[in-house]
Amino acid sequence: MNIKKQFTGKQLSAALYAALVAFLTYASIYAYRKPFTVATFEGISFGGIPYQTLLVISQVVGYMLSKFYGIKFIAELKRMGRWKTSAVLIGSAWLALLFFALVPPPWGIPFLLLNGFMLGFMWGIVFSYIEGRRATDFIGSALAVSFIFAGGFTRSVAVWLRDLLQLPDVWIGFTTGAVFSIPLIILLFLLEKIPPPDADDISERTIRQPMNKTSRQQLLRQFGWGLLLVTITYLFLTIMRDIRDNFMTNMWNELGYGKKPAIFTQTETITSVIVLAIMSGLVLIRKNILAFRIAHIVITAGFLIAGSSSLLFVSHQMEGALWMQLTGLGLYMAYIPFNCIFFERFIAAFKIAGNVGFLIYIADAWGYLGSVSIMVTKEILKINLNWSAFYSNSVIVFSVIGITGTVLSFLYFNKKYRSLQL
């Protein structure tokens, strides 16, 4: 299928512009969330729990709380004033990193919680600029892979700054945020310049609008069981993704690559390019229900790659660096569709007047609750596993659950689509 028959030159230019700006914006936002994790806070613990773990948990708790509140906040988000909201949220998150650096342990914990809460709304805000377009699969994929790339890139910048400036652990997060502050101001301005969906977009992908309480309840009544299956699947994906993301430094150290800061960017960039190529290819599929079905297949394939590579690693048949690369690829093949394609095509296929943010934040809220529960349980029960061993074994179990949930979701939505005769 020739893409030139589907898009005008103006539409292609707008899509490329939106993809680039969305990618760079969210990658820059990550500079206020992840760089502090390169600090291990050696020798500092409270209640027998390492300070680093307490900080990660507190930030994820903040992120989780923002997702639950965001179910309403993002669903009702209006187009006007989004840049002001973004500036307040990111500025508050950065200020929280400053206070985190100024107070002694363990008083940094509430500031990391505040940091996570403020940043948790930003995905929904950025995605609101790009949803409801025929090119959203491509633009959304670029946005979604930004956090694969950014997770590694911002950590590499943080390690470089730490070594160059001999930064204490507590100042790594704030200093990295300072480096990204001016670029982010410019990017928020450029984000506002993304043109709204045109008539062709609305015709093919339905109009996107804020959702009040009544419209949200109606959607849940109509598709509740299917969305429950999706949420359960996404819960385990979020656990897999969040543990890998938060404790990537620990795992690379355990595997013997701790002295190579570029390893973060190298591995995550490769994963980003592959996942972007797979996801953006769905933009060529005009029929929404077909793209929705293919998204299920991609998610299943991702679980298979992550689970099988972890099984090989656990059985000592795969080297650690290759395992990290493949499990990351499989994880994001399964995770990314939910953040850019799955709900976008679901709304379009079933002709729902609403927005993607509402659905993403439902799944995200429960996903982060699961992530927090796993981390807290591991510390309370004093499970004596290093992070790479704990993670690899968890991925095997979660992949089996994820494949089961995805297959059941596929069957449910196919049956629902036929019954509605759309």
CA distance 30 to 149: 10
For residue 6, the model assigns a pLDDT of 67
Q: How do residues 317-353 score in pLDDT, each as one tens digit?
A: 998 888 988 998 999 899 989 888 899 999 999 999 8
For residue 261, the model assigns a pLDDT of 57
Instruction: From 148, 23, 123, select the one nearest 363 (Cα to Cα).
Output: 123
C-alpha distance from residue 10 to each of 6, 20, 72, 186, 359 (Å)? 12, 16, 34, 23, 30
pLDDT at 47 over 90: no
Where exactly are the structural domains of the chain?
8-194+204-420
Pull the structure tokens for residue 85: 């909201």
Angle formed at CA 67 by CA 65 and CA 71, multiple of 5 degrees: 120
How big is the chain by its Cα radius of gyration, in Å? 21
Higher pLDDT: 258 or 111? It is 111
Higher pLDDT: 376 or 177? It is 177
Other beta carbons less than 10 A from residue 3's beta carbon: 11
Residue 45 host element (H or E): strand 45-46
**Residue 220 backbone class (left: φ over 0; alpha: ψ -120 to 50; beta: rest):** alpha
Of 234-243, 342-351, 396-405, the range with the lowest mean pLDDT is 234-243
CATH 3.40.1160.10 fits 8-194+204-420, yes or no: no
Q: How do residues 97-154 score in pLDDT, each as one tens digit?
A: 999 999 999 999 999 999 999 999 999 999 999 999 998 988 988 888 887 788 778 8
Higher pLDDT: 303 or 379? It is 303
What does residue 208 show for φ and ψ, rounded to 5 degrees? -105, 130
C-alpha distance from residue 230 to each of 283, 327, 348, 351 (Å)? 22, 21, 17, 19
Task: Report the b/e string of 349-371 with b at 16+ CB within 10 A.
Answer: bbebebbbbbbbbbbbbbbbbbb
Q: Are 101 and 153 in contact (CB under 8 A)?
A: no
For residue 372, the model assigns a pLDDT of 87
Burial of 304 (0-12, 13-18, 19+ CB in 10 A): middle
For residue 253, the model assigns a pLDDT of 81
Residue owning tokens 């400053």: 98
**Residue 57 backbone class (left: φ over 0; alpha: ψ -120 to 50; beta: rest):** alpha
pTM across the whole model:
0.85
CA distance 382 to 119: 30
